[in-house]
Amino acid sequence: VTIHCVRPAQVCERWKVDEEYAGKIAKLADHVIVHLESQKEILLRLGLPSEMISVIPHGTKIFEVDREASRRRLGLPLEGTVLLMFGFVKPHKCLHIAVEALSMIRREIENTYLFIAGGVAPTAPEEHKCYADSLKKKIEELNLEENVIFPNKYYPDEDVPYIFNACDIVLFPYYEEDRSSSGSLHLAIGAGKPVIASRIPKFEELKNISDELLVLPYNSEVIAKLVLRIIREPNFRSHIIRRTEAYRKLTSWENTAKKHLELY
């Protein structure tokens, strides 16, 4: 059995329900697959033997779409650097940190944009709607209306390859204790894009590309500096892209499927 989410009790809204449920399901299986080492550690604490658990990374779909064609399809600026935040707008994703980072970046490189490819979910609680409103206010306060593209809408699956290939760098400045692997992270890797993410359990595997891409939560200043370095330093950028290319091949769905077959 594959367990995608293993949440420890202290960070779960339902207290021990998720943790105990994962443990019970795992003990019924002949073998358990998880995506992260931190997930394995929780199952070990719950009493599963190490030989019963395998860590197999989340699979990566590799896709290549022309950058200019992608930008034209989505109505994005054809020139300049486009940063991306993807998915439903939720407070824990800290989009306001990305907006603050953009403001700092534009002091040195004006032709930089942030594309927020997503919106508030139709069934979202009021808290999420209020957060989206506060995000719009911050964009206005920082005079970034021309540089933040925020349609606040849902994008269908067929647009996803274009969204990731249209951008230059993908941001995940999240702040959460979730122990699930990130499918969105693997979409970014699958497009071969440099990723900057918070140093939290959800993104621990990014160290397999470069530990330097992990930033402490709420640190918009370091995100800005890292974006500028990727833009300005060809050697650093090439190193990150080479490492990303290697990791997306290693975790491709083809290789992930082979690891499952070997286990079975």
- Give 3-28 pLDDT, tens digit per residue: 888 888 787 765 555 788 888 899 99
- What average pLDDT does range 175-187 have in this prediction? 87
Specify whether the CB–CB gap between 124 and 88 falls below 8 A: yes
pLDDT score at 20: 83
Number of separate domains in the chain: 2
Residues 83, 45, single domain; the answer is no
Residues 32, 89, single domain; the answer is no
Q: What is the pLDDT of residues 49-70, one digit of tens each?
A: 999 999 999 999 999 899 999 9
pLDDT score at 264: 84
- What average pLDDT does range 217-232 have in this prediction? 98
- What average pLDDT does range 129-142 have in this prediction? 97
pLDDT score at 16: 54
Range of the domain at 21: 9-55
* pLDDT reading at 186 higher than 60: yes
**CA count, 13 A, side-chain hemisphere, 243:** 17
* pLDDT reading at 116 higher than 90: yes
| Cβ-defined contacts of 37-44 (< 8 Å, 24+) | 37/204, 38/179, 38/201, 38/204, 39/3, 39/6, 39/179, 42/6, 42/8, 42/179, 43/3, 43/6
* pLDDT reading at 149 higher than 70: yes
- What average pLDDT does range 110-117 have in this prediction? 98
Cα separation of 144 and 210, whole Å?
Answer: 30
Helix (H) or strand (E) holding 39: helix 37-45
Does any domain span residue 138? yes
Helix (H) or strand (E) holding 54: strand 53-55
**End-to-end Cα separation, the chain, in angstroms:** 11
Helix (H) or strand (E) holding 106: helix 95-106
From residue 258, how far is each of 35, 139, 221, 263, 264 by CA, in Å? 15, 46, 41, 9, 10
Residues 118, 20, single domain; the answer is no
Tell me the pLDDT band of 250, cut-offs 50, 70 and 90: very high
Does any domain span residue 259? no
Output the six-digit token pair for 254: 């083809």
Residues 72, 115, single domain; the answer is yes
- What average pLDDT does range 123-137 have in this prediction? 96
Amino acid at the residue 63: F
Residues 122, 34, single domain; the answer is no
Q: How far is CA 92 from the centre of its chain?
A: 12
Specify whether the CB–CB gap between 210 and 90 falls below 8 A: no
Beta bridge partners of 170: 84, 195
Least confident of 13-17, 83-87, 206-210: 13-17
pTM of the model: 0.92
Residues 36, 109, single domain; the answer is no
pLDDT score at 14: 58
Cα separation of 43 and 34, whole Å?
Answer: 10
Residues 229, 138, single domain; the answer is yes
List the CATH number of the domain containing 184.
3.40.50.2000
Residues 132, 48, single domain; the answer is no
Does any domain span residue 62? no
Output the six-digit token pair for 41: 């550690």
- What average pLDDT does range 112-125 have in this prediction? 96
Residues in the chain: 264
Percent of the chain with pLDDT over 90: 84
Residues 181, 120, single domain; the answer is yes
Q: What is the mean pLDDT of the chain?
A: 94
Residues 40, 165, single domain; the answer is no
Does any domain span residue 1? no
Percent of the chain with pLDDT over 70: 98
Residues 48, 73, single domain; the answer is no
Does any domain span residue 161? yes
Residues 18, 112, single domain; the answer is no
